[in-house]
Amino acid sequence: MKKYTVKCLSPLMALMLVPAAFAAPPLPLHSVEGFGGILITGSAWLVNPAEDDSLFGLPSMGATFANLGNGRNLEAYTLTETIGGRVELGYAFNRLDLGDLDTDIMAAALPDIKEDNVELHHFNARALLLKDGDLDQSWMPAVTLGLHYKYNSTIDDIDSRLGGALDGIGLKDNDGVDVTLYASKLFTSTPRPFFINAGLRSTKAAQIGLLGFTDKRKTLFEANFGVLVLDNLVIGGEYRQKPDEYAAIPTLIEREDDWWSAFITYVVNDNMTASVAYIKMGDVLNHKANDTYGFKLKFEL
């Protein structure tokens, strides 16, 4: 077997790397919230760290589109920068089309919300606490702590036009902070390598913040796995608990469910990945969003 030596942070990146004259492949991906992960969950591995002793890695950009059905689409545009191989800064802009929600609201004799979508901004900072194999322990996973400030720029106007109805069901704020702690490990002793990412999230966000934020903080579990079925093809799945700490307005704003996804990621070249996912999101606003499909492109400079 030909051996390659690479200065890179993620063992997954090193494993999939072609000879050292080439750059590491663009893994991990970006989550829809704008930090290293898959689609709806995260990873302890940081995105695109420098492969030498440089302070700054090159920036990474991503775009995600998910069709939630009933005229609703979720778009995410993401950007990350890793500094010193230990700190990842990220931003994401999310837009959720509301489909026929306004029509259903007016049919229930409630005011016109005058909005076709909601917009959510994520500002992320993550610190790598432990690298893979730290403390001279081969079993040691990478461990990353993250702080994630979220601001929903639309929800206050909607709540005002509804006369405080969202506040009345527990959606009290338009911003909040998530705290995440992730551990990630790559296993290579099996016929094909695979990885596992598992994390805890402390949050007040409703539907990741797309519906605003409650005043009840909850700590939840999320995880993902992937198998390198080919050197440039990963298949896997994700699971994410949701807090579900607001009341429902029946037929208009239903309570949230846990999210699941199955994904396939193809490493196009040293700079780009393309992913497709099948997602089950349960109730989202006035309709279910099961049998949802998402598409993601990520590009590293």
**Is 15's pLDDT higher than 70?**
no
Give pLDDT, residue 81: 97
Q: State mean pLDDT over 22-26.
A: 56
Residues 6+ apart with CB under 8 A from 168: none
Q: Are 28 and 228 in contact (CB under 8 A)?
A: no
pLDDT greater at residue 232 or residue 1: 232
- % of the chain surpassing 70 pLDDT: 92
Give pLDDT, residue 1: 30
Paired with 197 in beta bridges are 184, 224
Rounded Cα–Cα distance for residues 4 and 155 (Å): 51
**Is 110's pLDDT higher than 70?**
yes
**What's the Rg (C-alpha) of the chain?**
20
Rounded Cα–Cα distance for residues 277 and 43 (Å): 17
pLDDT-derived band of residue 259, with 50, 70 and 90 as boundaries?
Answer: very high
Cα of 213 vs its chain's centroid, Å: 18
Q: Which of 245, 123, 257 is nearest to 173 (CA)?
A: 245
Whether domain 11-300 has CATH 1.10.540.10:
no
Give pLDDT, residue 24: 53
The whole-chain average pLDDT of the chain stands at 91
Q: Encode pLDDT of 55-74 as tens digits.
A: 888 899 999 999 999 999 99
Q: Are 238 and 280 in contact (CB under 8 A)?
A: no
Rounded Cα–Cα distance for residues 260 and 104 (Å): 27
**Is 11's pLDDT higher than 80?**
no
pLDDT-derived band of residue 53, with 50, 70 and 90 as boundaries?
Answer: confident
Instruction: Say if residue 193 is preceded by a cis peptide, omega within 30 of 0.
Output: no
Q: Where are the domains of the chain?
A: 11-300
**Is 39's pLDDT higher than 60?**
yes
Give pLDDT, residue 138: 84
**Is 86's pLDDT higher than 70?**
yes
Q: Are 247 and 47 in contact (CB under 8 A)?
A: no
**Is 9's pLDDT higher than 50?**
no
pLDDT-derived band of residue 7, with 50, 70 and 90 as boundaries?
Answer: very low
In one-letter notation, the amino acid at residue 200 is L
Residue with tokens 């229930």: 108
Rounded Cα–Cα distance for residues 265 and 230 (Å): 11
Paired with 103 in beta bridges are none
Q: Encode pLDDT of 225-254 as tens digits.
A: 999 999 899 999 999 999 999 999 999 999
**Is 137's pLDDT higher than 50?**
yes
pLDDT-derived band of residue 27, with 50, 70 and 90 as boundaries?
Answer: confident
Q: Encode pLDDT of 162-200 as tens digits.
A: 999 999 999 999 999 999 999 999 998 899 999 999 999
Q: Which of 219, 139, 225 is nearest to 178 (CA)?
A: 219
